[in-house]
Structure 1
């Protein structure tokens, strides 16, 4: 079984749910609103209002929970590490102590808040990439950046670069696994040996990956030039994006929730 086969970061999950049918521009605009709500919430009501839309999106997407877990699993270590650091380093009323280690009420509260906010941020981003095809992401980003082209912003190029980066995440993971297996066949391993030996093995993994990425980028550029690719000059699209009443209603509801949470925080 592939070592990275269960990682779903940047992968699209086919479906016909309400979230899949939503205009990709709506989902891109909704993401910063969800992040802002998660960062501003500091009361039970605020946590419910910021987490409610994400829970509804999870239920309406029609994606098996196992797929979300696969996307979150590589990041659980970071989330749990942040929680532990906050619990052990923030001073306050002690809830538990063992030697020099202690957990304070304030540290636990701050750690859980950080855990909650980072989880919402990650899940919201996963929902965007898992319910939107790379092509629709490119089209939506370019459309949203069009007003900035008069200031010299390369809208099409920026959208294309982000989409290509998402597209090649699974490819890079597969190449990383191939390099790791080649190292193991030669007696090297990232999981055994002293710290200097592990760092040396890590360099042996990064260098081939970097060389492979540069080679793949050069091949992609050559293929695009051979096919007459010239950016967004005189480009047309078969499918035109169009906002629906449901898209406007979703954005309006999220905007109202964001303003409500902000007013509650600073009232």
Structure 2
């Protein structure tokens, strides 16, 4: 190596530690993804196409800030997650509402695409651990997988709650029970941490979406009637407060390596 050449850039891990706060913000962001997409599409009358363009631009901008950072910055990271949540919801909604793709088909397609991304990621990097998102290539794989988990979760959640007619309450209970099963597998049976993380990450999307619909939809549709505006404001405000706390106190608590 030329002694005059600059040393290679070393990144710190670009994603947060997996703590209880991580999962709280993640589930709230999934709820916001569901309610905010409905608010922009229906309440503001932007339509699916207009909402998708706006959120696509916001997602691209937030990812630009995230990619340019050399370490984990809570505000950048969680802004990306919220934007991905909304955009992932819109991807599924466009396929279902505008193109007439059945939710069962969307679920199968997104599930297959996610498996392919994981397979290529592992073949190239030999790990799927989110504790090692410390190169540009791994970050590309990571955010591609995250987007697919949100699209898959939206399709699966809507398919179970609406397509199969189980309703929002039963859908929330079903996916909540599946999350509990993954947690038991990890902490009681000592199952692989990385596998359990990605399973839980996928399942929190339909769980959060079902909870969001339960809170926002009118009683005639099986919801509690809080509306998309109120639900989005409450959850976004809570997310902002939690992110502010994370930015002030950067010490990880309850670390679980995956």
Q: TM-score, normalization: structure 1?
A: 0.27
Tell me which structure has the larger Cα radius of gyration: 1
Q: TM-score, normalization: structure 2?
A: 0.28
